[in-house]
Amino acid sequence: MPAALIAMDEEGTWVQEAARVLGNGGLVALPTDTVYGVAAALSNPTGPAQIFEAKRRPGQTALAVLVSDTGQAALLAEGLDGPLGVLARRFWPGPLTIVFSRRVGLGVSLGGDESTVGLRCPAQDALRQLCDEVGPLITTSANIHGHPPAHSAAEAIQSLDGYVSLVIDGGIRDGAPSTVVTWSGHSLAVLREGPLNPKLLHDAIHEGSQ
């Protein structure tokens, strides 16, 4: 069935429709502060498999999770009292995905290393509101694996139509995918370069430890 398409209106009524679809186990393609993403509710046990199928993506490639704030992140991850927590408090909301150790009991399979979870708090108020209403969102870029990220609703539909139930049209999103970091041994590791300069991140950790 073709995906329904609605506009990202200023009143935020799209949030209720997206919450309905996600709550019923569907996938939603939506604009973030970086590029278009495809999302499933973390509470949806088949969500990761649906996303992997939609993107034709290998299961060993981990999916990230969007959260509304550091409080929601703390329910999923360990280490917010350490250097990575410094980065979360300094750069969230924003284009930074942080790979933390998982909290015990987070049993959902997100691909990749099942002992870790990559979290990001998006800059958009309405998207954080959606996370508040539905809970954390499993997410990744709304494109076929290995293809360029989707910067428009049309590109997201072209890649994922038939797999997503709803597409939110928020115009062009011309940002770069988020910077991805983790803590390795005694230092910060940049797993994917993005909008945030690594020196800025290192400096923030140094300042936060003083």
Residue pLDDT, tens place only, 135-149:
999 999 999 999 999
- Inform me whether the pLDDT recorded for 24 exceeds 90: yes
Q: How many Cα atoms are found within 13 Å in the side-chain-facing hemisphere of 1? A: 9
**pLDDT band, very low/low/confident/very high, at 209 (cuts 50, 70, 90):** low
- Inform me whether the pLDDT recorded for 2 exceeds 80: no
pLDDT for residue 187: 93
Q: Give this prediction's pTM.
A: 0.92
Domains in the chain, number: 1
Backbone angles phi, psi at 157, to 5 degrees: -65, -45
* For residues 93-115, average pLDDT: 93
Looking at residue 141, which CATH number applies to its domain? 3.90.870.10
**pLDDT band, very low/low/confident/very high, at 168 (cuts 50, 70, 90):** very high
d(CA 198, CA 188): 9
b/e sequence 147-174, b meaning 16+ C-beta within 10 Å:
eebbbbbebbbebbeebbbbbbbbeebe
* For residues 56-62, average pLDDT: 84
- Inform me whether the pLDDT recorded for 201 exceeds 60: yes
CB atoms within 10 A of CB 45: 13
For the chain, give the mean pLDDT: 93
CA quadruple 91, 87, 69, 140: dihedral, nearest 10: 80
- The parent domain of residue 21 ranges over 4-208
